[in-house]
Amino acid sequence: MAETLAEGGMLAVAVANTGGAARAQGDLADLFGSVGVLSKHKCRVLWAQKGADFKTGLAAAWIAAAQPRPLPLLPHGSPVLTAPGLFAWDHLDAGSQLLAAHLPADLSGAVADLGCGWGYLSAELLARCPGITRLDALEADARAVALARQNLTDPRAAVRWADASQPHGVAQWDAVVMNPPFHQGRAALPDLGRAFIRAAAHGLKPGGRLMLVANITLPYERELEAEFASWQQIAEADGFKLLTAVR
């Protein structure tokens, strides 16, 4: 954004203190040379004017560093496109690997991956479960959506830019898998995971299955008890637990 400013143009941003305001202020100072600051309500408003001190080379380097790149992250198939800033962008997180290792080969019909990121669990579903006829991969981060659409070339997959914590259709899926986020910035938000569970329950057909991986400290069991006919924990490893439930 700063690179597209005309000479003399002004950039203004508001950042919560807990969302990296101090770092943003430092980055703007590095880029523009000087930064105006107003602090209030646990936030900072920052502004800077593009002038002779603007470091064009640094801006270009930052832009290049953020570009998508192919990485050999899948145990099968070609390298996938991913990018810095996305969840688990340069590695397979332990929770998702735990879920993938326990995917039953008999999952079939219409399946959803809620919060699909760049597409790891969706790719595993398509590779391991030949009975899947439709895979809805939902993700709120537009950058991840763009990459998932390139990574998931199987015609059964449909990647949708959507808030997976909100209901999307009633009783349309035979199964749902998810590794829901539980942080916003540095703040732990277990309610976000609970919202994912409610959205999954809303979208599952009667008898449909949910597979959920989560940090072992997150209290999701009560939500499963309220929304599903039955549930159980089937695995635990590396600080994560794998929960399954039947609608």
Q: If you average pLDDT over residues 203-225, what whole number do you get?
A: 97
Instruction: Supply the pTM of this predicted model.
Output: 0.88
Residues 38-73: tens digit of each pLDDT? 999 999 999 999 999 999 999 999 999 999 999 999
Tens of pLDDT, residue by residue over 88-141, are 999 999 999 999 999 999 999 999 999 999 999 999 999 999 999 999 999 999
Domain boundaries, the chain: 2-65, 69-246
Output the average pLDDT for the chain. Answer: 94
pLDDT the model gives residue 188:
60
Q: Does domain 69-246 have CATH number 3.40.50.150?
A: yes
pLDDT tens across 157-177, in order? 999 999 999 998 888 999 999
**% of the chain at pLDDT higher than 70:** 98
Which of 175, 189, 191 is CA-nearest to residue 244?
Answer: 175
Tell me, what's the pLDDT at 187? Answer: 53
Number of residues in the chain: 247
Sign of CA dihedral 208, 213, 215, 216: positive
Q: Is the pLDDT of residue 183 over 70?
A: no
Strands (E), the chain: 10-16, 36-40, 43-49, 69-71, 80-82, 109-114, 132-139, 157-161, 173-178, 183-184, 187-188, 204-215, 230-237, 240-246
Which of 179, 124, 119, 113 is closest to 147 using CA atoms?
119
Tell the residue number behind the tokens 């270009």, with chain if given: 60
